[in-house]
Amino acid sequence: MNGSIATAPGTLALSAAGLTVTGPAGRIIENVSLEVSRGETVGIVGESGSGKSVTARALTGLLPAGLVAAGTLTIGGHQVPLDSGKKRAWRGIRGTKITLLPQDPFTSLSPRHHCGDQIALPLRGQSRAQRAAAVRAALAEVGLPERVAGQYPFELSGGMRQRVAVAAALITRPDVLIADEATTALDVTTQREVLDLLASLQRTRDMGLILITHDLSVARGRADQITVLYAGRIAEQGAAPAVAGAPAHPYTARLLDCDPPLHYTLDRLPVIPGSVPRLAQVGAACTFAARCALAADECTSQVPALAEVASGHRAACLRVADLKGTRAGRPAEPRTRSESSSDAAPTAEAGRAAVLSIRDLRKSFGQHVALDGVDLDVYAGESVAVVGESGSGKTTLARIVVGLESPDAGSVAVAGSAARAAAPPQIVFQDPYSALNPSLTIGTSLRDALRAGGRPRTDAEVTALLEMVSLPATYARRRPQALSGGERQRVAIARALAVRPDLLVCDEAVSSLDVSVQAQVLNLISDLRTSLGLSVLFISHDLAVVRQAAQRVYVLHQGRFVEQGETADVLDRPADDYTRLLMASVPAARD
Amino acid sequence: MTTPALPAGGLHDLVKPRRRRWLPRTQVSVALSTLALAFVAVCALLPGLVAPNSTAQDILLGVTSPGTAGHLLGTDNLGRDITLLTLGGTRSAIVGPLVIALGSMLFGILLGTPAGYFGGLTDGVIARWSDLLLALPATLLAVVVAGIVGGGYWITVLLLIILFSPSDIKLVRGAVLEQKTRPYIESARVLRMSAWRIMYRQILPNVAPVIIANFMLNIAYAIVSMSSLSYLGLGVGPGSPDWGRQLDDGQQLLASNPAALIAPGVMIVLTATAINIVGDWLFEWLNRRAAAR
């Protein structure tokens, strides 16, 4: 509208005050205030259930039917109604002043349209030639070749698709771009490229960027300001170095602790007990009180106000005064750095039996070579990781090990550690929401697994399995729908253990869990390894997880192992260029 | 259907998508349809109660128009009361279609599940068999079969089971294919559960809503198909009460007593519609229950 008037850098591009969204079941977010200036990156950090997606939708007037928003929202100097029903008022705002970059590049683009047409979609009333020129310019800006305009999304890699989505989001030159978990679905190297791209576009266009993420380290590395959301309320807000370096809210501090470090190994990962509550069920109390080690009586009787702890740094914690400067909510247990080599399993030389040995494994799907001659050993009681990006062949490897695919050539030998015959290796998949049969109760699922393992299908056995994964026996009567993601993943582990396998394959088993829950499950797997003498094969893209969970690591790249060895050796002194690239791509690598 | 890529506990948890519906929210239509079906069921199970002596003839009376004393809808040319005849025809109109829907559902489950689960040769054989059946012209086949073996009610039922089964097989096969790649099914395979247990214990409950809804729709289709064949004289034998038969007989009475034609026609339409509405509702309810669990 006033495109001719150049806005000075640093002016306010978006400001939301007292944003509250209410759904049929009660409040979802409450009193969220946010300011984004041009040229500034604001990170919104939160776990699932924190309300970060609802916030993104409220800011773009895209709330689903049934949700009602209150508060004030100003975008580019115009007050905008929060009511998503008022479509007319959003015209000329959404898509031109503010755009949303969706999470999943695999579903956000239409499979039936050329990328060029999708990028040009918001350009109305322009000639064909003008649109084509705009698309060319947009593609060049996101670093894609011109030919992409005539290609379909399925012809492109995930990173390229997300670049197309970026080009489409930015073609109208918005003042503010909201990236809602825009890099979560991407590999770590691609993630870095897209984040770099967003940062450079933001600089050249002097645009405000709201980076919504579950990953505090992404926000720390990329954002100027960070807002930490917890159960629909702001827990902490301030400059990125202050929030991530000297957190004033116990939740932020614990969240930082839960994030597994990349450069050293912990004996035990710190966890936050419990899970994120629903705001509607909390009432007049601190939402974090139930999980907070520092909670006092007053924490459960009033809503803590967002109070300034330092200039421009606010936290919603009643005990903030007591904790200021001490790094709030330090975990009770010390973060002991274990000497990574001391507890490493003895390798073949020590004469331990291999529970899995793979020799010269090959597998192709049509023209695509997934595995190109792979040798791998897992010894009894050992935990071994295979790291690689999507397309590296790591999932194919996992599926061959558990017998879901058959190899083209090579051998896979599974041996029992004890005298009894080897139970087939079991697998835990990535997505907890499809891990369990929705039409069976947990107890039935476990009984079926026990029967498959030729074991008695008694209640006692089911209870024992649930206890093994630290779930109460009453869960046997529940259905998967009543369980959280972390709990479902625990049941999936219990089901796998029902046949008493010697080897458990974890195919990205923790990568779709929240950071705090991820730590709980990793600790559980580590405990089971000790108590049951279980060997674990981790398939992962996450080097920090691998650092904590595995003693030895294999780096898989295009169907071949490019490097292997003790985890600490490989990650600290990577010998291969590809490993170095992976290490360098880890967002804001922790010390 | 693919799993949405939303983060755990995303918007989907918070709001159920609002469905635009053609029928009122209170589902008066479902209630009415259920009542209608209950009545039809009583007629079919206890014809003696609702329509005693439904085939009693009064040849002296002959055909009369509706409103004749003691005969609300009049009588046909044999002096049979149209009301009683129509109510009495319920049994043959309902029982056959029920058996047809059950039979083709059984075929669907027994052949569609292995076709979807095993794929490959099993699927190839079963799929070609279904294609072959689908290619047959149903009515023509019925006429030919009747010409060879002499027709009859249960022959027609058997024929329709075979003709209905390919669509059931394909439906179940598709639903099983979709389930087969789910992680919980792959986990069951990794646990080395037998194929039989995976198919019928792990997969079948998850595809049950589709199968049950299709069963209901099949009853409705079968009512119409059976009636059509009876109308062509291929279903029930002459003299026995049946809606399709009545349609045929009633044609000649169009001028003298149109009710003889209209009453069974209305019954066919109402019953088929009621079954469709209840079937739709059942499908939604089963799905909602599955989602809530």
DSSP state, A11? -
Tokens read off for B207: 């595809």
Question: pLDDT at position B292, please?
Answer: 62
Task: Enter the pTM of the model.
Answer: 0.80
* Residue B14 sits at the chain A interface (C-beta within 8 Å): yes
Across the interface, whether the CB atoms of A57 and B291 are under 8 A apart is answered no
Question: pLDDT at position A346, please?
Answer: 45
Question: pLDDT at position A525, please?
Answer: 93
Across the interface, whether the CB atoms of B187 and A429 are under 8 A apart is answered yes
Across the interface, whether the CB atoms of B191 and A436 are under 8 A apart is answered no
Question: pLDDT at position A517, please?
Answer: 84
Q: How far is A452 from chain B (nearest CA, A)?
A: 5
Question: pLDDT at position B25, please?
Answer: 52
The C-alpha atoms of residue A429 and residue B96 are separated, in whole angstroms, by 47
Tokens read off for B100: 């047809």
Question: pLDDT at position A257, please?
Answer: 84
The C-alpha atoms of residue B253 and residue B251 are separated, in whole angstroms, by 5
The C-alpha atoms of residue A114 and residue A153 are separated, in whole angstroms, by 7
* Residue B181 sits at the chain A interface (C-beta within 8 Å): no
DSSP state, A268? S
Query: Is residue A22 classed exposed, middle or buried when 0-12, 13-18 and 19+ CB atoms within 10 A define those classes?
Result: middle
Q: Taking the domains of chain A in order of start, what are their residue ranges?
A: 12-230, 250-338, 348-585
The C-alpha atoms of residue A358 and residue A414 are separated, in whole angstroms, by 9
CA B2 to chain centre: 30
Tokens read off for A402: 């558990």
> Does the fold of domain A348-585 match that of domain A12-230?
yes
DSSP β-bridge partners for residue A356: A378, A414
Element (DSSP H or E) covering residue A26: strand A26-37
Question: pLDDT at position A538, please?
Answer: 94
DSSP β-bridge partners for residue A409: A362
In this structure, is the dihedral angle defined by the CA atoms of residues B77, B80, B86 and B89, taken in order, positive or negative? negative
DSSP state, B129? H
Judge whether A21 and A69 are in contact, CB under 8 Å: yes
Judge whether A413 and A357 are in contact, CB under 8 Å: yes
Q: What would the pLDDT profile of A473-503 be if each residue is shown by its tens digit? A: 999 999 888 888 889 999 999 999 999 899 9
DSSP state, B110? I
| Backbone φ and ψ of A237, nearest 5° | -150, 135
Question: pLDDT at position A343, please?
Answer: 46
- Spell out the domains of chain B, with CATH numbers in brackets: 31-38+73-292 (1.10.3720.10)
Judge whether B14 and A25 are in contact, CB under 8 Å: yes
Q: How far is A429 from chain B (nearest CA, A)?
A: 7
Closest C-alpha among A471, A440, A43 to residue A219:
A43
Sequence-distant (≥ 6) Cβ neighbours of residue B280 within 8 angstroms = B213
Tokens read off for A517: 């829950």
Judge whether A436 and B202 are in contact, CB under 8 Å: no
The C-alpha atoms of residue A142 and residue A144 are separated, in whole angstroms, by 6
Q: What is the CATH number of domain A12-230?
A: 3.40.50.300
Tokens read off for A566: 């003790």
**What region, left, alpha or beta, does residue B9 occupy, with left being phi > 0 and alpha being psi -120 to 50 degrees?**
left
CATH 3.40.50.300 for domain A348-585: yes
Judge whether A13 and A75 are in contact, CB under 8 Å: yes
The C-alpha atoms of residue B282 and residue B293 are separated, in whole angstroms, by 16
**Residues of chain B numbered 29-88 and touching chain A (CB < 8 Å):** none
Q: How far is B119 from chain A (nearest CA, A)?
A: 15
What ipTM was assigned to the predicted interfaces of this complex?
Answer: 0.78
Sequence-distant (≥ 6) Cβ neighbours of residue A481 within 8 angstroms = A438, B291, B292, B293
Sequence-distant (≥ 6) Cβ neighbours of residue A339 within 8 angstroms = none
Return per-residue pLDDT of chain A as tens, 591 residues.
Answer: 443 344 445 688 899 999 999 988 888 999 999 999 999 999 999 888 788 888 998 998 888 888 888 999 998 888 888 876 677 788 878 888 899 988 777 788 888 999 999 999 888 788 889 999 999 999 998 989 999 999 998 888 888 888 999 999 999 889 999 998 888 777 778 888 889 999 999 999 899 999 999 888 888 889 999 999 999 999 999 999 999 888 889 999 888 888 888 888 888 888 888 778 888 888 888 988 888 888 888 888 888 888 888 888 999 988 876 765 454 444 434 455 554 444 444 444 456 788 899 999 999 988 888 999 999 999 988 999 999 888 888 999 999 999 999 999 998 888 764 545 668 899 999 888 889 999 899 999 999 999 998 888 899 999 999 999 989 999 999 988 888 888 999 999 999 999 989 999 999 888 888 887 888 899 999 999 999 989 999 999 888 889 999 999 999 999 999 999 999 999 999 999 999 988 888 875 444
DSSP β-bridge partners for residue A377: A357
* Residue B193 sits at the chain A interface (C-beta within 8 Å): yes
Across the interface, whether the CB atoms of B10 and A53 are under 8 A apart is answered yes
Q: Mapping DSSP to helix (H, G, I), strand (E, B) and coil, where does residue B127 land? A: helix
The C-alpha atoms of residue A299 and residue A309 are separated, in whole angstroms, by 18
Query: Which residues of chain B does A424 touch, with a Cβ-Cβ cutoff of 8 Å?
Result: 190-192
- For Cα atoms A45, A48, A50, give the angle at the middle one, nearest 5 degrees: 60
Strands (DSSP E) found in A163-280:
176-180, 208-213, 225-230, 233-239, 265-266
Between β-strands A535-540 and A503-507, what pairing exists: parallel, antiparallel or unpaired?
A: parallel
Element (DSSP H or E) covering residue A152: none
The C-alpha atoms of residue A47 and residue B163 are separated, in whole angstroms, by 54
| Backbone φ and ψ of B123, nearest 5° | -60, -45
* Residue B273 sits at the chain A interface (C-beta within 8 Å): no
Question: pLDDT at position B14, please?
Answer: 44
Exposure string of B165-177, with b = 16+ CB inside 10 Å and e = fewer, is bbbbbbbbbebbe
Max Cα distance, chain A (Å): 80
Across the interface, whether the CB atoms of A106 and B3 are under 8 A apart is answered no
Question: pLDDT at position A486, please?
Answer: 87
Percent composition of chain A: helix, strand, coil (DSSP 3-state, to 5): 35, 25, 40
- For Cα atoms A357, A361, A362, give the angle at the middle one, nearest 5 degrees: 170
Sequence-distant (≥ 6) Cβ neighbours of residue A572 within 8 angstroms = A263
Which of B10, B17, B202 comes nearest A437 by C-beta? B202
Exposure string of A480-502, with b = 16+ CB inside 10 Å and e = fewer, is beebbbbbbbbbbbbbbbbbbbb
Closest C-alpha among B20, B33, B29, B50 to residue B220:
B33
Tokens read off for A144: 């894609």
Judge whether A415 and A212 are in contact, CB under 8 Å: no
CA distances from A183 to A154, A180, A561, B271 (A): 18, 8, 26, 55
Strands (DSSP E) found in A198-249:
208-213, 225-230, 233-239
Judge whether A382 and A551 are in contact, CB under 8 Å: yes
> HSE on the CB side for A423, CA within 13 Å?
23
Which of B2, B15, B190 comes nearest A426 by C-beta? B190
CA distances from A239 to A1, A328, B88, B160 (A): 32, 17, 83, 74
Question: pLDDT at position A364, please?
Answer: 92
The C-alpha atoms of residue A226 and residue A534 are separated, in whole angstroms, by 41
Q: How far is A51 from chain B (nearest CA, A)?
A: 8
Pick out chain B residues at pLDDT < 70. Answer: 1-26, 50-63, 65, 67-70, 290-293
